[in-house]
Structure 1
Amino acid sequence: MKTTRLPSLFVSHGSPMMALEDSPTAHFLDQLGASLPRPRAVVMASAHFMASAPTVTATSSPRTIHDFGGFPKPLYEIQYPAHGAPALAGEVVRHLTAAGFEPVLDDHTGIDHGTWVPLRRMYPQADIPVVALSVNPAQTAAWHYQLGRALAPLRDEGVLVIGSGGYSHNLRELDWQHANSQMYPWVKAFTDALSAKLLSGDVQGALDWQSLPEARRNHPTTEHLYPLYVALGAGGAGAQATRLHHAVQMGGMALDAFAFDQAA
């Protein structure tokens, strides 16, 4: 039976409170899973899973990691009991090895909030197996793009490849007292410029993100940006970007989401 090719996705997971809150982005994620063909598994590159070598989880029953502090007790009580997919993890490793990477299989790490928060809203039944893939902030956007390119064939096999991060991520400059503050001009300058590159198919321009306005102010560290490039690469050569969602919280946390796929 022919499998429908899935797009790759980039989602902004926001605060861990996205798991509980009522917001436009939470509502978007609530409908996102149902809007796609049902995947056989998810490969998730999360901003909160970092390693020097590309690391792929082969845990059969990954635990739910509450990798944050200072939030309400109900958040720490959430479990996302999705199964892992060790066989798929092996496939991921083979694709990455063939592309010249030196990946590592990890049979003990669970799933961090960058993975389970969006998946809990997309697939609340936790009935789709999950494999996590690390990012490396010491590497480049181009390195993560090639990481994603190696995974593009999985989309023809019913695997949903997702990068989970933040379209902008400067926690020090957020308006923590006002969730609905208007977008700061310096956030708009960067995100508008990056969106223009993505939507026009200018991959090289998107990869050269540091040349965009206010780039380092939006991403003083890179771990929340690089999952975008995994998703972009997984869209395949000549992938077309579609913006699925646009929102901002606390003035400076852009929460855009994109799908990437080759033109039919």
Structure 2
Amino acid sequence: MNLQTLPGLFISHGSPMLALNPEQVGPALQRLSLNLPKPQAIIVMSAHWESNSLEVSTSVRAETWHDFRGFPAELYEIRYPAPGQPELAEEILHLLADAGLAAHANSTRPRDHGVWMPLLHMYPDADIPVVEISLPMNWSAEDIYKIGHTLAPLREKQVLIIGSGSITHNLAELAWRGEPTEVPVWASSFRNYVVSKLTHQNYDAVLDWQTIPYAKRNHPTLEHFAPLFFTMGTGQRFNIVHSSFSMGSLGMDIYRFD
């Protein structure tokens, strides 16, 4: 493999407070970036850009969007002014069209925290162009996987591909006040099942997400799990970069696909 070929990454981006309180995952993201060749560009599919059809940001410089409420004032002062890259966006649109995946350009979409929060820890200088693509929620898991598979050749052009979501994401069951002593069985069982299937390259079992134990309890809605399907499409060799839980049952895992 070309030494400059970058991986696909699935990043559990956690609470917006990760920007101010990195916990364990912030340093893990920083170490990861230091161990990779510097990307020429970054593509991110975020859980926070749900759409009916597949869209690609063609903005020259997307605004930093604080798409959350009720957090400390300093969080809203953070900016991530990385440029866009319309040329890469056009290449993405062409690749998708050639694969029979209808996609549309979007020049006005601001950059949500599923994009800028992980990148804040990985590339704090904000000097690498970023293109965001949407998560089409009426598409099947297999279709979302196909998006990642279609864009995977861009890895050989030193483009880093990221799916930003969360391995578990049930906000109603988080421990908002104080850390519990144990991770709930329903959260750890789900996470361990997914990791086991990915480790044994049984991707079909993960794409058949409804049969995963405790699927609905970990993901009452699918938008934070679906970016994993996208990243799975980018590579066949799976590795765990980081694994931890926050607020009891919020999985903060980072996975790498080569």
State the match for 1:120 in structure 2: 120
Amino acid at match of 1:73: A
Amino acid at match of 1:257: I
Question: Is the 1:48–1:112 contact (alpha carbons within 8 Å) kept by the matching residues of 2?
Answer: yes
State the match for 1:242 in structure 2: 239
Per the TM alignment, residue 99 of structure 1 is displaced from its structure 2 partner at its CA by 1.1
State the match for 2:111 in structure 1: 111
SS in 1 for 2:198: helix
The answer as to 2:10 corresponding to 1:10 is yes
- How far apart in 1 are the matches of 2:175 and 2:197? 28
- How far apart in 2 are the matches of 1:51 and 1:22? 29
- How far apart in 2 are the matches of 1:257 and 1:73? 28
Q: List per-residue Cα deviations over 1:107-160 (Å, max 9, x = no partner).
A: 111210000000011000000000001002232211110111110110011110
Residues 98 and 179 of structure 1, relative CA distance in 2, 3 Å threshold: farther
Amino acid at match of 2:244: A
Residues 178 and 96 of structure 1, relative CA distance in 2, 3 Å threshold: same
- How far apart in 1 are the matches of 2:242 and 2:27? 10
Of 245, 250, 255, the match for 1:253: 250
Equivalences for 1:145-164 in 2 at 5 Å?
145-164=145-164
Question: Is the 1:245–1:256 contact (alpha carbons within 8 Å) kept by the matching residues of 2?
Answer: yes
Moved beyond 6 Å, runs of 4+:
none
Per the TM alignment, residue 53 of structure 1 is displaced from its structure 2 partner at its CA by 1.2
Amino acid at match of 2:20: L
Per the TM alignment, residue 234 of structure 1 is displaced from its structure 2 partner at its CA by 1.5
Per the TM alignment, residue 260 of structure 1 is displaced from its structure 2 partner at its CA by 0.5
Q: List per-residue Cα deviations over 1:179-212 (Å, max 9, x = no partner).
A: 4642111001111001101111111111112111
What 5-or-longer segments of structure 1 have no aligned partner?
A: none
State the match for 1:52 in structure 2: 52
Question: Is the 1:181–1:249 contact (alpha carbons within 8 Å) kept by the matching residues of 2?
Answer: no
Question: Is the 1:3–1:158 contact (alpha carbons within 8 Å) kept by the matching residues of 2?
Answer: no
- How far apart in 1 are the matches of 2:39 and 2:124? 14
Identical amino acids, percent of aligned pairs:
42
- How far apart in 1 are the matches of 2:103 and 2:3? 27
Amino acid at match of 1:122: M
Could you tell which deviates more after superposition, 40-49 or 197-206?
197-206
RMSD: 1.1
SS in 2 for 1:154: helix
State the match for 1:193 in structure 2: 193
Q: List per-residue Cα deviations over 1:12-70 (Å, max 9, x = no partner).
A: 00000111104111211122211111110000000001111111001001100000000
Amino acid at match of 1:6: L
Amino acid at match of 2:257: F
SS in 2 for 1:59: coil
- How far apart in 2 are the matches of 1:4 and 1:22? 28
SS in 2 for 1:242: strand
Q: TM-score, normalised by structure 1?
A: 0.95
Per the TM alignment, residue 3 of structure 1 is displaced from its structure 2 partner at its CA by 7.0
Q: List per-residue Cα deviations over 1:199-230 (Å, max 9, x = no partner).
A: 11111111112111101100110100011111
Question: Is the 1:175–1:181 contact (alpha carbons within 8 Å) kept by the matching residues of 2?
Answer: no
The answer as to 2:137 corresponding to 1:140 is no
Equivalences for 1:37-116 in 2 at 5 Å?
37-116=37-116
Residues 180 and 34 of structure 1, relative CA distance in 2, 3 Å threshold: farther
